[in-house]
Amino acid sequence: MPTDTKRIRGPEVSHSLSRFVCKPDTTSLPSDGARADGRSRDQVDVRPMFVRCGLVSQAKGSAYIEAGDTKLICCVYGPKETERKDETDMKCGRLFADMRFAPFACPERGPWIQGSQEKDLSLMVLESLQSAVCLHKYPRSQIDVNVMVLENSGSALAHAITCASLALADAGIEMYGLVLGCSIRQDGDSYLIDPTFLEECGGCQSSGENQGSLTVSFLPNLNQISGLQSDGEMAEGTLAAGVRACIEGCYKLYPVIQQALIKAVRGAGPLPIES
């Protein structure tokens, strides 16, 4: 927030220490065998996940996800009356998604203002969720989804999608199904599922073939892909194999998310009987 004079601002130009540190050898991810955290390559070996609903009492629904060191929190507000009255299509509700990184989330400090990368990620979250929410049940109203990445240790987008759909479910928004996100990082012939931050960054530096990353959001109960985003260079066959791996990863996460949701519903007590 550049206009906030009360905030103590640092000098105009400052550099992160990481620029002076010898670069860890990210380009040479060990091409075979185990990954740095003990998981193996080419296997749908997602990081263990901790999930909980309903942490933020003010929000209609909220969820928290922790996978490895990636930590995210998501809040859902609404349905409430839409702020934008100019839209002609009032028969359907409108979904707004906003994804932000905390300034301290990444190794290098980020800005407070939402950058274009975060806007791009917000759009991806929105498009992934849009097809899953029964928006026609909420005419003339809007639903806000806010995702905050507290700590980014890779695959933030994939987990943000999962977290957001869980928060929507926790808020009692009618949906066709849960949306789960999963990402892979392609490194030559092998893939790394649910990559960590170091594994994610290594891709930009190496110049070999088939270096890229892919994020898929998937509705397991309907068998539908609601979001897809890839980056870097990949052959078409690799891409298809990557999508399959991501779908498999989503199926692995599905029971965990379901359990968390069931637990949240049980904890909330019996549903009030409507007359």
Partner 1 sequence: MATVQLSEAEKVYVLHGIRDDLRVDGRSCEDYRHVEIETDVVSNTDGSAKVTLGHTAVLVGVKAEMAKPRPAAPEEGYLEFFVDCSANATPKFEGRGGEELGMELTNTLYRVFNNKHSVDLGSLCISPGEHCWLLYVDVLLLQCDGNLYDAISIGIKAALFNTRIPKVLISEGEEGGTEIELSDDPYDCVRLAVDNVPCMVTLCKVGPRYVVDATLQEKACSVASLIMAVTPAGTCTCMRKVGGGSLDPESVFEMTEAGKRVGKSLHGPLVALLSQEESLGKKRQKVGFLG
Q: For binding to partner 1 (CB under 8 A), which residues are involved?
A: 15, 19, 116-117, 119-120, 123-124, 127, 130-132, 204, 207, 209-212, 214, 219, 222-236, 239-240, 243-244, 247
- We find the least distance from the C-beta atom of residue 240 to partner 1, in angstroms, to be 5
Amino acid at 45: D
Q: Which is nearer to partner 1, 57 or 207 (CB)?
A: 207
- We find the least distance from the C-beta atom of residue 50 to partner 1, in angstroms, to be 28
Q: Which is nearer to partner 1, 61 or 212 (CB)?
A: 212
Q: Which is nearer to partner 1, 78 or 177 (CB)?
A: 177
Instruction: Write the CA distances from 61 to 5, 25, 49, 99, 157, integer angstroms.
Output: 34, 42, 19, 16, 19
- Report the distance separating Cα 267 and Cα 275, nearest Å: 23
Q: What are phi and psi for residue 127, nearest 5 degrees?
A: -65, -30
- We find the least distance from the C-beta atom of residue 210 to partner 1, in angstroms, to be 8
Contact 230, 239 (CB under 8 A): yes
Residues with Cβ < 8 Å from 44, sequence gap 6 or more?
193, 245, 248, 249, 252
Q: Which is nearer to partner 1, 204 or 262 (CB)?
A: 204
Instruction: Write the CA distances from 17 to 23, 25, 196, 201, 213, integer angstroms.
Output: 11, 17, 21, 17, 27
Q: What is the DSSP letter of 274?
A: P
Q: Which is nearer to partner 1, 166 or 234 (CB)?
A: 234
- We find the least distance from the C-beta atom of residue 105 to partner 1, in angstroms, to be 18
- We find the least distance from the C-beta atom of residue 215 to partner 1, in angstroms, to be 9
